[in-house]
Structure 1
Amino acid sequence: MKDYFNCIEEKMIKFLTKISFLSLIIVGLVIVYLLFREIYSLIILAMQPETGGNYYDSLKGILSFFIFFEFLTLIITSLRNRGHVSLIFLLSLGITSLIRLLLTYHEHLMGVMLISSAILLLIISVVILKKFIFPNDDTDEHL
């Protein structure tokens, strides 16, 4: 009876793993579509006459492009490593996202201070991980 349940467990794990990979591929394709859509909108924006608000729109578009690119890199890394993603890579993705938010957010000083504090906390976390958790690891596997 125990072998029967172990067999069912293994089949269920394989089935859920395949669904997970299929979902990652679908999300990756959606991100590729959004990436090209962002490139198209940046090209259209670059061809418009110069206006004051055009600068901030193009900055947001460029930063969004890089965020989509980072998420696509995350999905590719996850697919290559059979679903495993480095914690340092996830922290660096969070730092990148918060820097994008900081560059486009100018409304309240308290919000800017909170975003800056969050970036500092994530950077400290990456330094702690590299110094104490993976001190002798010279590979880029955790980057």
Structure 2
Amino acid sequence: MIKIKKDISFVQLIPKVLQAVLNISLVFLAMILSILLVQELIIFGQILFKEQNSDYKLFLANILLFFLYFEFITMIVKYFKEDYHFPLRYFLYIGITAMIRLIIVDHDHPVNTLFYSIVILILIIGYFIMNITPRERPDSRWFFKK
């Protein structure tokens, strides 16, 4: 085995290198999402201050797209604050927001709208179940005690 330092072997170094690559990639992703968030604000302002404010669907779709960008950036911030862990609730928030956006943008087919609504209900039920379960998991060492 190749030794890098006295205490750290090559095999122990691999997860640290991969974690660093992941962290750098997430920082770049957060910067790209921030740029897209600002672009969405500019588009939102253009739609808001146009003379013809008749396309309310486009207005609502852009608001929800803004919140999707915002939630992804918030999730990346939480990832770094919570010691490299993505909280599950943020994925549920993003899923619910994305489904609401789909309903607003693509509501021409009633069956699809019903399916999107059922998906939202399932996500909300999952969020409810997640909130009623304790955050701290019970110690599983009692199972192995003799």
Q: Which amino acid aligns with 1:31?
A: L
1:57 and 1:126 map into 2 onto residues whose CA distance is 29
Partner of 2:85: 84
Within 5 Å, give how 1:78-117 maps onto structure 2: 78-117=79-118
In structure 2, C-alpha distance between the alignment counterparts of 1:110 and 1:92, rounded to whole Å: 23
Q: What runs of 5+ residues in structure 1 fail to find an aligned partner? A: 138-143
User: Residues 1-143 of structure 1: matches in 2 within 5 Å?
Assistant: 7-53=9-55, 55-131=56-132, 133-134=133-134
Does structure 2 conserve the Cα–Cα contact (< 8 Å) formed by 1:102 and 1:112?
yes
The residue that corresponds to 2:142 in the other structure is: none
User: TM-score of the superposition, structure 1-length normalised?
Assistant: 0.82
Greater helix share, structure number: 1
Alpha-carbon separation, structure 2, partners of 1:89 and 1:45: 28
| Equivalent residue pairs, number | 134
Q: TM-score, length-normalised on structure 2?
A: 0.81
Aligned to 1:140: none
Q: Select the structure of larger CA radius of gyration.
A: 2
CA shift at 1:83, angstroms? 2.1
- In the alignment, the residues of structure 1 paired with residue 131 and residue 44 of structure 2 have an alpha-carbon distance, to the nearest angstrom, of 37
Deviation at 1:45, TM superposition (A): 1.8
Identity %: 28
**Cα offset, 1:105, TM superposition:** 2.0
1:61 Cα shift? Answer: 1.3
Structure 2 CA distance for aligned equivalents of residues 127 and 136 of structure 1: 16
Specify whether residues 92 and 47 from structure 1 end up closer, same or farther in structure 2 by C-alpha distance, changes over 3 A only. closer
Higher relative contact order (CA 8 A, sep 6+): 1
- Do the aligned partners of residues 80 and 136 (structure 1) sit closer, same or farther apart at CA in structure 2, a change above 3 Å counting? closer
Deviates more, 1:112-121 or 1:102-111: 102-111
| CA offsets 1:17-59 (integer angstroms, 9 cap, x no match) | 0000000000000000000001111112222212533x22222
Contact 1:24 1:79 in 2 (8 A): no
Deviation at 1:104, TM superposition (A): 2.1
